[in-house]
Structures are given as C-alpha cells and as structure tokens.
Structure 1
C-alpha cells in the first residue's frame, strides 16, 4: 500500500481528492464500467474505440504529457487519509473511470510496449462512492459543457507543435490551405480561422483541411503519381482554384459565389478527385490554362450559392460537384507533367 499527497476540492455538490499516481498503478486499479453492459452502480462509460487507444499509446510513447486529470469513482470502501496523504491499495478494479478511459487504456498499451511508461505521473481526481445518476451527471458535464477545442484551432496550432506528434497529412493539408488563403491566392480572406469574427461566406479551416487531406495522405492520389513535394502540391491546388476564379472574374469575391462557401469548396475538391486529377495527369499538365480550357464556366453557367443554399451539407456539395461535371469539356490527353 503506497501513500500519495492529495488536496480536497469542494465544489457545489461534491468533493473529490486531487492527487497524482504512477501510470502503472493507475492502469491496474482503474477500469471502465460500460453503460447497458455492466450491471453495477456508476456504469456510465461507452464502448472503447481501438483507434483512439492506439493514438494515445503512440502519444504516450513519444511525448507523455497528460496534464488533464483522469476522473475516478472509488468503489472499494473509504480511502484512508493520514496527514495529507491517501493510501492507494494496488488492487484491480477498485475505481471506476468516469472520464479518461481511452487515456488509461492507451497508457496501458504504452506500458506493455515500454515499461518505463509505468512511472509517468498522471493527475487523478477521485470521487468516492458515487451512484449511477451522480456519475452520469459528472460524465455529462465533462463531455458536454467542458468541450474540446474545435478542429480549426487544433489545425491552426499544428504550425507551433512538434510535427512528429501530429498527423503528417493534416499538417500538409493545413500548409496548403494556408497558402490558398494567402494574399493573391483564390481564398484570400475566405479561410475562416479560429476566434475570427463571424462573417457570411468563407470556409472553415478544419473543413478545408479535411476535404483535401485524403489527397495528400501517404497513400493518396498525389503520392500515387509521385507528386509528394509541398510546393508542387500547393501549386496544383492554387492552379485549380485559380482557373475557377478566372471563370468568375470580378464576381469571384461576391457573396453569391458558391465556391466561397464550404459546400462549394468540398464539391470542387470532389470534382478534382473524380475528374480533373486524372484528366490533368493524362494531359501531362496541371497548369491553370489546361484546367481553364477543360471547364466551360461562362457567365450563364456560374454556380451560385442561392442554387444550393436550401440543401444539406453533403447534398449541396454533391450539387456543386455535378454542376462541374456538366461543365467539364475534356480534350485529348498526352504524357509528362507541367505544373
């Protein structure tokens, strides 16, 4: 039985003990009681997601920063206190996990791979003897009111985070979107960043990154044809959207232009994947002029936001994609690449 220093935190209706435990001990004493699966008080957890566990394991092995507390419900009687210390027995299943079950599972896998991870100090908040309704209230509070950072903010922070800890494809996509939103580029002023003032029109950074990420992933279309360098990928996307912008002329920045909204951007990327990419590859050219010549988007055929405004997100993006397909006028193909 080991002793650990703690402080008591009193809030509106409950108190809990805040301490730090070695990851090895934490993973032995804590367990997830799953709602509608485990017939016991305090069962509020969801079924584990193996992909999330694997990601947390990798994060633990590479970095191991876990500043947010794992929240437990102690069910093995009353914790013994002695002069500012609590005694934690090394027994299995003495504490239900209210929040942090994926972190605990990920840490366990990390320890299995590298036993040194068992020594990580993990902050832990311990409630005692909560019934199911009270466990559920705390779980709901954490997972609804205390919401995680939006995707856009996470992507925005990639530029100042250690790249080996992040998703390389998301970083690459974020770099490309940052370029498309720079001065002189088609989406200058139309990429919506975190904490930016609300505006009509524009494409959220997370939406744009998610749309192009599959194309620049390690097994995506770009790599399949040997286009792996960032500058080449930036140029291709810039040429593509610049060609569409040329067809709109002075109306490109008009708020009626469907392409400056999420559905237009997503629909355009889908069309690029399904039609334009293979066409340009076959022509041996990703130049703006090649793309312009294959699209008949004259003034009468411009895709306007009012045409898709009443549709759902995916339906609106599909409508933009279909309009681009109808405007597609492919010419004969050749070989080689020009960007």
Structure 2
C-alpha cells in the first residue's frame, strides 16, 4: 500500500479580473521547484525545464538568489492541474493542494522557477494560481502574457543600470565615454547619439558599447579623457576621409559604426609605424584617407549587415601596395 501524498496549505486571496478568478498567495521557492513543470507532463520535471529553457539565464537567477543581492517580486503564474486536488478552506482564506510533482503548469515565470530549482537558498515567492482552466485557456493565457508584455529596451536598461550603480568596470567606462561623446562640444558624434532609446539615425548605448567594447583592452592603461581624445580623432578622420573620397557611409548606422571601430586596431598599428604614438587627428587622417581611396564603393556596399566583413574590406584597403 502506497502512502498518500502529504498536503500543503497557504493563506490566499481570491481575485477577480474580467472573466477570470484566481488565487494570490506566497509560496516557498523549493515548493515551486518541486511541484511545477513547464513541458509535457510525461517528462521529468527538472530535465523538462532544461530542454525548453535557457539554463544560463536560470543559473544567473539562482546565483542572484544565493548571493542575497535583492528581491524577485514578480508573481509566478500557474495553472493548477486536476492532480493537485485543490481545495479552498476556512471560508476562502486557505488553499490546500497535494505536495507532488507536476501539479502546476507554469504559464509565466519558467526561468525563475528553474532558477529556484538550481539555487541553494530558499525565499518566499509571490504566486498567482488559476484553477479549472482548459488546455485552450492555458494556451491563450500563455500567448497573451508572452506577447502583450513588452520587455524594457536594452538602451534604457543600460541607462538605468548607471543610475542604480549596478555597472561593472567596463560598463562604467563605456558609460563615461558615451556621455562624453554625447555631450562634448568637440565630439564628432555630437547630436548623433541617443542615451535611453533606440532611434533611427542615432547611435544608441547598445550600438556604442558593441563598437567600443572590443577596443578596451588596447586602451586599458589610459584615462577616460585620453581614450576619448584618441577615439574622437579617429572617428573625425574617418568622417572627413570618407567624405573627401566620395564614399557613402553613415557613421550612425550600427553596422558601419561597429565595422569602423573593429578597424581601429589596424589603423592605430599603421599609424604607429608611420608616426610613432602621436595619435593626432592629422596622423589618423593620413592613414585612413588612403584606406578610403582604395576601398571601392561596390565592396563597401556588399558588406551587408556584417561589421566584420566591412572591417575586413577596410583592413585590406589599409595595406599599402607593394612594388619593386
């Protein structure tokens, strides 16, 4: 004779929104981890999570929980399955259900629950439980939640991370450089940057970071103002040389900006060979002007959306022709 599964009880509130009624409560994270599933019920719960979800994202959540860094106040949305044997007791103030795997289908919060399963620590988690939904209703609710909720733009997140003092060293440096390029009166990108949103015709923080981050190891020994001076001189010379040689490029285009920045190490190396470590605007121009002269418009146009391909075109054009 098998033992009957134990039951769990939690205080709840009944909430009505539109045509749906649901229960609002808090549950321990370990209970969520062992009673919820996110894939077909025939699969092992934890392995099922691993197959359909991003384990790295879930591990980041687990690490965040174990480090005690903050809170995760967003509610997990669940649909109770018949096997949960939900009962409402004490005049609707208490919810009882069987403590067993796969009792709740996760409609929203899969990565958080998977993170709870990976975490060593436990915490109390806000939960919403729907009861009696059909499979069609579960599917419609999943679609509604996952299509009508818009994520915060990456550009705004970077801006907010600065306000929250939540940046790593590289992000802090990139943020300072972006602000100087965005605000300095001598900046070649003045009036061309957008700090908190993605806008056509402007360089966002995300585009700027993608372009400049690969260069940080080259300039790690320099102060922020020195880095700005070198990079602004380079960008200024690129804009001038492209215009002089009649090459139609737009520095605010994400592919172009990133391709130009990927070319910087080769340009800086060529400049050193010719002029030593004198990173003046004029010296940069002396290097990039022949580069734009040799780079054909046809090849530049065929780079598509690949910064790497565009950089390869420029680096090839950077090489002086060898004759005897």
Q: Same fold (TM over 0.5)?
A: yes
Counterpart in 1 of 2:154? 151
Change (3 A) 1:188 1:124: same
How far did residue 59 of structure 1 move? 2.1
Asked if the contact 1:3/1:85 (under 8 Å) is kept, the reply is yes
Distance (Å, rounded) in 2 between the aligned partners of 1:15 and 1:45 = 31
Distance (Å, rounded) in 1 between the aligned partners of 2:51 and 2:18 = 26
Asked if the contact 1:180/1:186 (under 8 Å) is kept, the reply is yes
Counterpart in 1 of 2:174? 173
Gaps of 5+ in 2: 1-6
Asked if the contact 2:214/2:262 (under 8 Å) is kept, the reply is no
Counterpart in 1 of 2:218? 222
1:258 matched to 2:258: no
- For normalisation by structure 2, the TM-score amounts to 0.76
Asked if the contact 1:7/1:17 (under 8 Å) is kept, the reply is yes
Distance (Å, rounded) in 2 between the aligned partners of 1:145 and 1:311 = 36
Larger deviation, residues 131-140 vs 240-249: 240-249
Change (3 A) 1:202 1:59: same
Asked if the contact 1:156/1:194 (under 8 Å) is kept, the reply is yes
SS in 2 for 1:19: strand
1:14 matched to 2:20: yes
Change (3 A) 1:24 1:277: farther
Distance (Å, rounded) in 2 between the aligned partners of 1:137 and 1:18 = 20
Equivalent residue in structure 1 for 2:70, among 31, 52, 64: 64
Gaps of 5+ in 1: 332-339
Distance (Å, rounded) in 1 between the aligned partners of 2:87 and 2:165 = 40
Distance (Å, rounded) in 2 between the aligned partners of 1:303 and 1:181 = 31
Equivalent residue in structure 2 for 1:48, among 50, 53, 56: 53
Asked if the contact 1:72/1:125 (under 8 Å) is kept, the reply is yes
What are the superposed Cα offsets for residues 149-172 of structure 1, whole Å, 9 maximum, x if unpaired?
A: 011111111111242xx5554443
Equivalent residue in structure 1 for 2:11, among 5, 12, 15: 5
Asked if the contact 2:86/2:95 (under 8 Å) is kept, the reply is no
Counterpart in 1 of 2:118? 109
Alpha-carbon RMSD across the aligned residues, in angstroms, is 3.9
1:138 matched to 2:137: no
- For normalisation by structure 1, the TM-score amounts to 0.73
Counterpart in 1 of 2:287? 294
1:276 matched to 2:276: no
Distance (Å, rounded) in 2 between the aligned partners of 1:87 and 1:281 = 74
Asked if the contact 1:44/1:132 (under 8 Å) is kept, the reply is no
Asked if the contact 2:295/2:313 (under 8 Å) is kept, the reply is no
Larger deviation, residues 185-194 vs 65-74: 185-194
SS in 1 for 2:107: strand
Change (3 A) 1:65 1:215: farther
